[in-house]
Amino acid sequence: MPIRPHQVQAVPKPLVEGLEKLREELNIPEDFPAEVHSAALHAAQHPRLPELDRTDLEFVTVDPEGSRDLDQAVFIEASGSGYIVWYAIADVAAFVIPGDPLDLEAHVRGQTLYGPHKRTPLHPPELSEDAASLLEHEIRPAVLWRIALDDKGHQTARTVQRALVRSRAQLTYREVQDALDSGTASAPLRLLKTVGLLREHIEQERGGVSLRIPEQEVETSNGEWHIVHRSALPVEGWNAQISLLTGMAAAEIMLEAGVGLLRTLPPADAASLRKLCETAKALRIDWPPEMDYTEFVRTLDPQRPDHAAMLYSCTLLFRGAGYLAFNGQRPDNAQHAALATHYAHVTAPLRRLVDRYAGEVCLAVCAGEPVPEWVATALARLPREMESSNRKASAYERGIVNMVETFMLSPHVGEEFTGTVVEVDETGERGRFIIRTPAVEAGIRGVDLPFGQEIRVRLVAADLQNGQSRFELVCSGAVLSATADC
């Protein structure tokens, strides 16, 4: 789907009702059981604290405005001609005991789910938004990464250990961007930009690509519903590069040790690439034949609605992302195709189950100790647990997309639109098309649907409760090109 909203302001009642129905159908819990809240309160009061104190490091957090579940804090300093990246990650294992109610519930949930009107967290807010979160001015146990870079941004050394840290400030992306643009940013924040740009260049050289996916907000004006795109600020990309750097370092540690858990993604198949080219054609975006995928993505401007829709479609090019657990030997074919390197999830343990386990492997390896038994035992089943959680998250996201698209289209029932067919089944009678304005994707039935060509459709129904819009074919192909009023 071209549109994937994560934030909706002033959500209208009909949309809320539809979203609540979707949550019920997917069995998404409203709250935590009483025993889990009780365990969280106890854990918050009795954390297992490390001996090492690194509260001297001038960490800050950089997140969206209003965030409370703060997984990461960053501090970067110059070191000779290179840099030292210090990255503090919330130490969930300092609060959660294997097999306790918190741990069992986390395995059921797998990850935090985000909707336009509410969030369903992996851990109770007593931990995720308070005791375990790297909140401003609070001393917290952390998994502390130290990654050395040369003057070009290439990694030269890495290690990780437990330590106490203290964030000096909770900053928003906008605050950091404004400070950088005005020249008032602190030295560590200026280095965040420097290192971020270096790592983006390395990513480009490596053949990887990070999609600059804009956020959508739904606004109402004079009875009309509109999608407003909020493009990512440059600092969001630079900050993301620090997380990616850490995930790559973690993957190297685990591969060298022959034990761990990687995030993998197979290369794109030809059919997906062909559909993406047809999507570009549908949105009237030029994609020269000689330009490869990664080059094309970098030409897209997320501030343009048609380019924003294209960026969302680009997320469909690489399918089959998963987790690969290994213990005893280095696995083959374990790369992440979009990043063009090995990668692991370790930087969001408050919001994603696997990060706690991968982080524990890295801590043990760097300390020269055996991987804890509770971690080694769980590795084999974690990919299946996360696959189940990801299916639910994907279904939830798809449902949200459908509802917001229907929400946006509902005032236009009876109107006609021009779209391009981007998918046709073997019968030629069922397919999918993309409308350029508004940028939505929908199914259609007909006879000999013209793949890659324009069709004229009429919106005949928009059921907000079920998130379903229905179109009928008016005319297509050569007929459409021959007459404008068919």
User: In whole angstroms, what is the distance from residue 257 CA to residue 327 CA?
Assistant: 9
**Nearest-5° Cα angle at 93, 90 to 98:** 155
DSSP H or E segment with residue 75: strand 72-79
Give, as one character, the DSSP assignment of residue 315: T
Radius of gyration of the chain (CA): 24
Which residue has tokens 């790369």?
335
With contact defined as beta carbons under 8 Å apart, do 400 and 383 qualify? no
Long-range own/partner contacts, residues 314-320 (CB < 8 A, 24 or more apart): 314/211, 314/276, 315/4, 315/211, 315/213, 316/272, 316/275, 316/276, 317/268, 317/272, 317/273, 317/276, 317/293, 318/265, 318/266, 318/267, 318/268, 318/272, 319/266, 319/268, 319/269, 319/272, 320/265, 320/266
Name the residue type at position 164. L
**How far lies 37's CA from each of 68, 105, 121, 125, 180, in Å?**
18, 11, 12, 9, 41
pTM of the full structure: 0.87
Query: Can you give the pLDDT of all 486 residues of the chain as single tens digits?
Result: 334 444 555 667 778 888 899 999 999 999 999 999 999 999 999 999 999 999 999 999 999 888 999 999 999 999 999 999 999 999 999 999 999 999 999 999 999 998 878 889 999 999 999 999 999 999 999 999 999 999 999 999 999 999 999 999 999 999 999 999 999 999 999 999 999 999 999 998 998 887 776 665 555 566 555 555 567 789 999 999 999 999 999 999 999 999 999 999 988 888 888 888 888 887 788 999 888 888 888 888 877 767 766 776 787 776 788 999 999 988 988 999 889 999 999 999 999 999 999 999 999 999 999 999 999 999 999 999 999 999 999 999 888 878 888 888 888 999 999 888 877 788 889 988 888 777 678 889 988 888 777 889 999 999 887 888 999 999 765 444 433 344
Query: Could you please report the per-residue DSSP string of 243-284?
Result: HHHHHHHHHHHHHHHTEEEEEEBPPPPHHHHHHHHHHHHHTT
With contact defined as beta carbons under 8 Å apart, do 435 and 458 qualify? no
Name the residue type at position 320. G
CA 380 to chain centre: 24
Cα of first residue to Cα of last residue in the chain, in angstroms, is 28
Q: Which two tokens stand for residue 204?
A: 């480009």
pLDDT of residue 274: 84
pLDDT of residue 449: 87
Strand 59-63 relative to strand 468-476, pairing: unpaired
Neighbour count for residue 96 (Cβ, 10 Å): 24
Which residue has tokens 């854990």?
43
pLDDT of residue 222: 62
Q: Which two tokens stand for residue 177?
A: 């961007």
**How far lies 178's CA from each of 173, 181, 214, 302, in Å?**
9, 5, 19, 19
Instruction: Kindly tell me the sign of the dihedral angle through the C-alpha atoms of 370, 371, 372, 378.
Output: negative
Q: At what angle do helices 234-257 and 173-182 cross, to 10 degrees?
A: 110
Q: Which residues pair with 227 in a beta bridge?
A: 218
Q: Which residues pair with 462 in a beta bridge?
A: 469
User: In whole angstroms, what is the distance from residue 145 CA to residue 133 CA?
Assistant: 17
pLDDT of residue 198: 98
CB neighbour list of residue 57: distance below 8 Å, 6 or more residues apart = 75, 86, 88, 165
